[in-house]
Structure 1
Amino acid sequence: MTAVPPRRIVVLRHAKADWPAVADHDRPLAERGRREAPAAGQWLAGAGIVPDLTLCSTAARTRETWKLVAHELPRRPKKTLYEDRLYEASTGELIALINQAPEEVHDLMLVGHNPGVQGLTELLAGSSEGDTLAQVRRGFPTAAVAVLSVDGPWKSVEPGSARLVSFAAPDSV
């Protein structure tokens, strides 16, 4: 019997957004965000992470972040779905989306918003490498990336079932 490698959940908060006089859902990235997002993509590339499936919020700032991140990866990500349910999602809603991921997916990325992405990372992390969980608890800045490792099928992901293996924020990417 061959051991199945752990799956990965990659949680990415959108890069820094601008505050023009538009609806929140339509806010674009600020100049700082346009610098942060490629750096996050370069960090992912350096970590050898190219998601099999990316679930991205439909908000303008998340779509723009994902486009800039994906451009930095060594190969085109397999599939991206723009998901309305990621916008203003609770941690429970985010876990429900993870539980619905197809079983053939090994690396699943969520591109979303705070407080959901930080709450999800903290809730799933039953353990962590080094001080990564403490870093997340101090804050999940724009363009930050958390990588969690999970064993078993997606439908079994629940609070405390993952290991937080890395966390990178813009100043460290």
Structure 2
Amino acid sequence: MKTLTLLRHAKSGWDDTVSRDFDRPLNAKGRRAAEAVGRHMRSLDLGFDHVVASPAVRVGETLDAIVAGYGRRLSPVWERRVYLASAATLLDLIHELPEGAERVLLVGHNPGLEDLALMLVPAAADGLRGQIEEKYPTATLAELSFDGGWPSLAPGGATLTRFIRPRDLDPSLGPDG
């Protein structure tokens, strides 16, 4: 059984005066949220044998904060195609993953990650998929599992096994309001 974990980058700083979206850094709340998610990943003993990430600044900073909480090193393959990718592009990338990889972490952006999760997980009566339909917040992790190889993953072919939002770990990391 293969496991695909989708991680949306943490909250970025819109107040920074960067000339390109690609260069936007995390804000303080985003760093706290990513560290909290990293600590939770450690408590669940999640492990990955392959990591693919967008090279955007906010993704790199998210991974740095995740590692600070996780306590394990992650060595991502920086893949430009993940930056602002559609669900279809992300699925193409997944089909190209090394067959020997059993537990993959894919770190990127919305709406692509949310659309990918909704594409891969069939509608069901349980509330887990419904949480994704409601919103896939920043620094949120979705874990999907499926039988077969990476090239065989098709729409509706995965099971959503976890959906972890920062606000589930610490209410102060929820939406501002």
Scaled by the length of structure 2, what TM-score is found? 0.89
1:81-160 residue pairs with structure 2 within 5 A? 81-126=77-122, 130-160=126-156
Structure 1 residues 150, 127: CA separation in 2 closer, same or farther (over 3 Å shift)?
A: farther
Partner of 1:68: 65
Unmatched 5+ stretches in structure 1: 1-5
- Label 1:171 to 1:126 Cα distance change in 2 as closer, same or farther (>3 A): same
Equivalent position amino acid for 1:60 in 2: V
Q: Which of 11, 14, 19 does residue 16 from structure 1 map onto?
A: 11
Q: 2:38 matched to 1:41?
A: yes
> What letter matches 1:42 in structure 2?
R
Separation of aligned partners in 1, 2:35 and 2:64 = 9
Q: Which stretch has the larger CA shift, 19-28 or 46-55? A: 46-55
1:8–1:149 Cα contact (<8 Å) kept: yes
- After superposing on structure 2, the runs of 4+ consecutive aligned residues of structure 1 that deviate more than 3 Å are 127-130
Is contact 1:129-1:163 (8 Å) kept?
A: no
Give the aligned CA root-mean-square deviation in angstroms: 1.5
Task: Give the strand-richer structure, 1 or 2.
Answer: 1
Deviations 1:101-143 (A, max 9, x none): 1111111111100101110111111266941100010000010
* Aligned partner letter, 1:40: V
Does the aligned pair in 2 maintain the 1:128–1:165 contact within 8 Å? no
* Paired amino acid for 1:16: K
Query: Hey, what does 1:3 align to over in structure 2?
Result: none
Find out whether 1:29 has 2:26 as its counterpart: yes
Amino acid at match of 1:148: L
* Partners of 1:98 and 1:55 in 2: CA distance: 10
- Check whether the contact 1:126–1:161 (CA below 8 A) recurs between aligned residues: yes
Count of aligned positions: 167
